[in-house]
Amino acid sequence: MWLLMFTLLAAVPLTSPSAANSVVVVPVANMYSKPETNADVVSQAIYSENVSILQDEHGWLHIETPDRYTGWIESSSLLRRAPYAISGRIARVESLFASLYRERDITEHAPVVTIPLGTRLEITAEPDGSNGRWLAAQLPDGRSAWIQRGDVSFSLAKDSIPEVIAWSKRFLGLPYLWGGTSTFGFDCSGLTQTLYRRLGHLMPRDADLQAAWSGLKPVASDELQPGDLLYFGSGPEKITHTGMYIGNGQFINATTWEHPVVQISNLNDPHWTKLFVCARRLKD
């Protein structure tokens, strides 16, 4: 078939023990504090993400993600190869979830894989005419697949704060998931990190690290503006939760309080008032 004739991205041999870069090949991969599934989940890496290998230990890899976060991941979740989707025609998934198929038809077979929002894909063909709704993608493992054009965008431009606030409301009702960084489930700092990535800023992974991040500046609670980040906990040395202020005393957050989902909460709610520690704003 003509699709198989597209040139593959040059890759490090998959058996090479010296390959420092790996690419995630499962929709969402848990990162653990230790090389065992009984350990706590510290974060996640999503499909097609490039990660660095720090250590290899009996079917587990100690990795570092682009936000400099580290954890252990099962080696079967990764392919050792050259970085993926860093040049050429790159699309970013804009739907909450997107399915890729082996042919330009959603009824013939089950999806090859279903991936979360934010996944980057290498696009190899953009047919015209009656097939214009489909794009051909080359996956990190070298396979070819089709994705519907309406699921992706070729624009990687930064959004404004009002645009991000409007965009964030698409996440309402998605499940809370400890360590979650994708639309399959977010934790509090995974959500705010995702929202600020849309603004063009890669913040640290955890809430306490975000509050201390050099890219943010303190802001008084009576001077809050939409887009500011709110931090909660038992005190400045124990920040355990975060959300993004959206105006009118409200903020969007992933929380287990009352309902374990992404939701809009009220800063004047006694639960949040007693836990509020500080607010932060992007530096000019």
Euclidean distance between CA atoms 283 and 122, whole angstroms: 33
Same domain, 216 and 108: no
| Spatial strand order in the sheet of 78-80 | 41-46, 28-32, 70-74, 60-64, 50-57, 21-24, 78-80
Please give the residue range of the domain that contains residue 273.
Answer: 161-282
**pLDDT (tens digit, 9 = 90+) per residue, 170-211?**
999 999 999 999 999 999 999 999 999 999 999 999 999 999
pLDDT, residue 128, reads 86
| Mean pLDDT of all residues in 256-260 | 95
80 closest CA partner among 52, 44, 58: 52
Total domains, the chain: 3
Stretch among 3-7, 101-105, 229-233, 245-249 having the lowest mean pLDDT: 3-7
231 with 241: CB under 8 angstroms?
A: yes
To the question of pTM greater than 0.75 for the whole model, the response is yes
| Mean pLDDT of all residues in 243-256 | 98
Dihedral, 154, 150, 4, 89 alpha carbons, nearest 10: 0
pLDDT, residue 132, reads 87
Q: Is residue 16 predicted with pLDDT exceeding 80?
A: no
| Mean pLDDT of all residues in 64-72 | 96
Same domain, 51 and 102: no
Report phi then psi at 36, rounded to 5: -160, 145
**pLDDT (tens digit, 9 = 90+) per residue, 146-171?**
999 999 999 888 999 999 999 999 99
**Residue 27: CATH number of its domain:** 2.30.30.40
